[in-house]
Every structure is written in structure tokens, then in C-alpha cells.
Amino acid sequence: MAEQPLHYVRTEMLEAKAPPSSQIGPLRWARENLFSGWFNSLLTLVSLYVILTLLAGIAPWFGHTVWNAGSLSECRKIIHNDFGPNADGACFAVIHERWNQLLYGFYPENGYWRANLALVGMLLAIAPILFSQVPRKLLWFSALYPFAGFWLIWGGSLWFPVAALLGFVVGGIAFRLLAEKSAVMAAAAGFVAACLWWFFAAGPVDEGLSAVFPIALQTVQSRDVGGFLLSIIIGISGITLSLPLGVLLALGRQSNMFFIRTVSVGFIEFIRGVPLITLLFTASLLLNYFLPPGTNFDLILRVVIMVTLFAAAYMAEVIRGGLAALPRGQYEAADALGLDYWKAQRLIIMPQALKISIPGIVNTFIGLFKDTTLVVFIGLLDPIGFINAIRATSEWNGIYWELYIFVGALFFVFCYGMSKYSMYLERKLQTDHR
């Protein structure tokens, strides 16, 4: 190597050159990730072999799928005719044949459009909440949707959900009138006003309006609502209700007020300490003993309440973790600027605590959505319930893979969607540039 003189001045700058081919493209990727050493190469080859063997086993089964058949034996006959006497194949015909049951349960067939419309409406109502690019005006639709969705699915007089909605309006007005005075008093007044409306005014208003403008849909009983429709109803209601309830419980647990803190802690610890299935049995069986005879308290509503309470207890703990991760300085800065408790929570604390808790919150959501399948044990016919029912019929006795694969895939699509959305949200909210 030539010795460099101490005194050196560069006279011309070097141009950047293209990298050698081993540094770019798929070749480099493969070398770095698959064949970076003899051990890794060995692992790669073994994995490839395992994957190929599995595929070789499963692919023919999927390849020999039959979509049209009336029963399992008919289906097997078709497979043997088409692919040889020893061939094995999937009978997705069962899904084709029982499609409507798996999706809608015993919902009246002439009302499928109502369930479909409710589903489309739900997507429209969720859009502005999930994506800030969607026009904010649509949030009004989101607020009205629960009532519209209820009416579409259960039918009955239009004025029943309207009267229920008016209760919220009355409560909201009472809250507004007193909000300047004291937030706590206003909240109490709003609550009382809404309850008074529901107990005393809602019934007559509903009846009166129904008599004058009889707008109604054919009533559907809760026991006829089933299949995936039921899972979505329970899952989405549980998710939307458990988040705000969880926030309140988390705040309650941190409260300085002894009574509120004790109630919150007691509630959270009790609900978390009890299996969901016992809560569901309580909802379906025991409540009947406690409620006055003759009260008709809808079973789906009871299940939604129990699932919500269950998820809310977990949610509260997840959010408490987010609250604990916030530095004290954030509370102090909010206080020092003169923000009151609720404004500080809403503008400063919760946006940050919820952001930190996103993975845990979505975890709870996904868990809740999958737990909706437990309602099968209290006699509601969700997709799992229908699988049992279908397998008990003489036509489809003996089939199982196809049905479970189908239901599993549907649940996977929803849960994976939630997971993807949470990652998108985390990226979007990342402002700390760490």
C-alpha cells in the first residue's frame, strides 16, 4: 500500500456507482434471509420439505371440492365418480346449501334485505369513526344508526326506537342546560330526565304515533335471529359499548372519591374473576328468577349486556395501563392551564392513554368477538350452534371439517381486519418520533 503523504487535497469528487449485483434484488434477499449459513440453509430446505408435504396432503382434498349436493352421501358419490373410488374431497356443498342459515339463522327469508341493509348501514356508520378522511357529517348517521339498525333487524313499529332515541335527546337537552353550572349535576340531571322519559313518556308517545302513523316492519323474534348475523350483533354492540364503559371504570378506579373507586375496583375484580360462561348462564336462566314475573327481557339484550360488562372489566385494566404510562407532568400541565377534570381527560389524558393502549384494546375486542360463540351454550344459534344443528341432520351427519373451516375463516377475516386496522391507527397516531 502506497504511503499517503500527510498533506493531501482531493481535487475531484468520486461519482456514486451502481452496487454489485449481490447487493440488490431478490438474490440478495434470499441469500440474507434463507441461505446465510449452512445451518440456515438446512433449516430452509427442511421447512420447504415440510410445507410441500403438507400441501401435497391438503391440496387434493381442496381440489376435489364439491359445491352442489343435497347430502353428504350424494357428495361422496360425486367425488368417487369424478376423481376415482379412493379419492377424498371437500364437501363445501353443505355451506352452499345451508348458506342462509349460517348467515341469518331462522330469520324470515323475505326479510333478508333488512339484515343486509342493516349490515351496509353499520359499515357506513363505522366508517367516520374509524377513518378521519370520511366527512365528519356522517357522524350524525353513526349516532342514529343503533336505532335504525335495531328497527331494521327486529322490526315492529318505527316509533318504538324513535321514542327511545327521544329519551337521549331529552337527557342531552337537560345536560346542556345545566352543563355551565356543574358537570356532575348536569350529568345526573340528564340521566334522570332520560329515565323519566323512558318510563313515563316513551310508551304513550310510541302508542300515540303508531296509532296516527302506523309505520311498521314485520316483527322478528329474537330466537329467530341467528347465524353470523347474531355474532355480529353481539360482537359489535359489545365492542361499541364496552370501550366507553371501560374508560369510565378505569377513571373510576383512579378516582380520589372513595365510593366511586371502591365500586369500580369491586366491579372489575368480580367480573374478571368469573368465567364469561357463568355470566351468560346468569343472563339466560337466573335473571328470570329475579325479574318480576311477566317481564319480557330480551335474551339477546341480556347477552349483550353481559358480554359488554365482561369486556369492559378487561378494557378498564388495559386503559389503566395506558393511564399509568403517562408522565405526571401531563396531568400537571393540563391542571396548570386551568382545564377542569373532564376537559383534561378528554383532550389531554385519554387521547394519549388510549393510543398507548391500542394493542390491548384491540386484543380485548378480538377476544370479545370470538367469545360471542359461547352463546351456543345458552341455546342461541350462532354459527357454531348451526354447525351442531346441521351435523345432527340425517343429510349431513358426519361432516365437520368444511363447516368449521368456513366459520373459522369468517371469524379470521373479521379479527385480522381489526388487527390490521389497529396497526394502521398506531402508525397514524405516532407523533412522538422516537
Partner 1 sequence: MSELVTDREVDRSKMKVSEEVAVQITRMNKWYGAFHVLRDIDLTVHKGERIVIAGPSGSGKSTLIRCINRLEEHQAGQIVVDGIELTNDLKNIDKVRSEVGMVFQHFNLFPHLTILENCTLAPIWVRKTPRREAVETAMHFLEKVKIPEQAHKYPGQLSGGQQQRVAIARSLCMKPRIMLFDEPTSALDPEMIKEVLDTMIALAEEGMTMLCVTHEMGFARQVANRVIFMDQGQIVEQNEPEEFFNNPQSDRTKLFLSQILGH
- 255 contributes a contact to partner 1 by CB under 8 A: no
Distance of alpha carbon 314 from alpha carbon 321, whole angstroms: 11
Distance of alpha carbon 403 from alpha carbon 393, whole angstroms: 14
- 333 contributes a contact to partner 1 by CB under 8 A: yes
- 332 contributes a contact to partner 1 by CB under 8 A: yes
Site stretch for partner 1 (CB under 8 A), options 65-73, 147-155, 383-391, 426-434 = 426-434
Which of 7, 10, 137, 434 binds partner 1 (CB under 8 A)? It is 434
Which of 80, 343, 370, 391 binds partner 1 (CB under 8 A)? It is 343
Angle between the N-to-C axes of helices 93-104 and 383-391, in degrees from 0 to 180, rounded to the nearest 10: 130
Please choose, from the candidates 366, 371, 358, 230, the residue with its C-alpha nearest in 3D space to the C-alpha of residue 307.
371
- Closest approach of partner 1 to the CB of residue 188, in Å: 17
Please list every residue from 352 through 371 that binds partner 1, using CB under 8 A: 352, 355
Please choose, from the candidates 129, 154, 159, the residue with its C-alpha nearest in 3D space to the C-alpha of residue 143.
129
| CA trace torsion 313, 317, 320, 321 (10° rounding) | -160
14 alpha carbon, distance to own chain's centre: 57
Residue 363 to residues 43, 160, 280, 366, 415, Cα–Cα distance (Å): 32, 35, 21, 5, 9
- CB-nearer residue toward partner 1: 405 or 429: 429
- 269 contributes a contact to partner 1 by CB under 8 A: no
- Closest approach of partner 1 to the CB of residue 247, in Å: 16
Q: DSSP state, 22?
A: G
- Closest approach of partner 1 to the CB of residue 329, in Å: 4
**Burial degree of 395 (CB within 10 A; 0-12, 13-18, 19+):** middle
Please list every residue from 47 through 66 that binds partner 1, using CB under 8 A: none
- CB-nearer residue toward partner 1: 351 or 417: 351
- CB-nearer residue toward partner 1: 84 or 329: 329
Coil, strand or helix at 217: strand
- 433 contributes a contact to partner 1 by CB under 8 A: yes
| CA trace torsion 300, 305, 311, 313 (10° rounding) | -160
- Closest approach of partner 1 to the CB of residue 348, in Å: 6
Give me the residues paired with residue 89 across strands. none
Distance of alpha carbon 237 from alpha carbon 243, whole angstroms: 10
Which of 25, 172, 244, 351 binds partner 1 (CB under 8 A)? It is 351
- 335 contributes a contact to partner 1 by CB under 8 A: yes
- 338 contributes a contact to partner 1 by CB under 8 A: yes
Which of 51, 285, 337, 413 binds partner 1 (CB under 8 A)? It is 337
- 327 contributes a contact to partner 1 by CB under 8 A: yes
- 135 contributes a contact to partner 1 by CB under 8 A: no
- CB-nearer residue toward partner 1: 286 or 337: 337
Number of Cβ within 10 Å of residue 273's Cβ equals 8
Site stretch for partner 1 (CB under 8 A), options 71-79, 160-168, 208-216, 336-344 = 336-344
Helices (H), 156-225: 159-179, 183-196, 202-212
- 429 contributes a contact to partner 1 by CB under 8 A: yes
Distance of alpha carbon 107 from alpha carbon 221, whole angstroms: 9
- CB-nearer residue toward partner 1: 3 or 432: 432
- CB-nearer residue toward partner 1: 254 or 330: 330
- Closest approach of partner 1 to the CB of residue 430, in Å: 9
For 10, the grid coordinates are: 482531493
Cβ proximity of 284 and 305 under 8 Å: no
Site stretch for partner 1 (CB under 8 A), options 56-64, 222-230, 335-343, 363-371 = 335-343
- 37 contributes a contact to partner 1 by CB under 8 A: no
- 339 contributes a contact to partner 1 by CB under 8 A: yes
- CB-nearer residue toward partner 1: 148 or 356: 356
- 329 contributes a contact to partner 1 by CB under 8 A: yes
300-315 in b/e form (b: 16+ CB < 10 A) is bebbbbbbbbbbbbbb
Interface contacts to partner 1, rule CB under 8 A: 327, 329-330, 332-333, 335-340, 343, 347-348, 351-352, 355, 429, 431-434
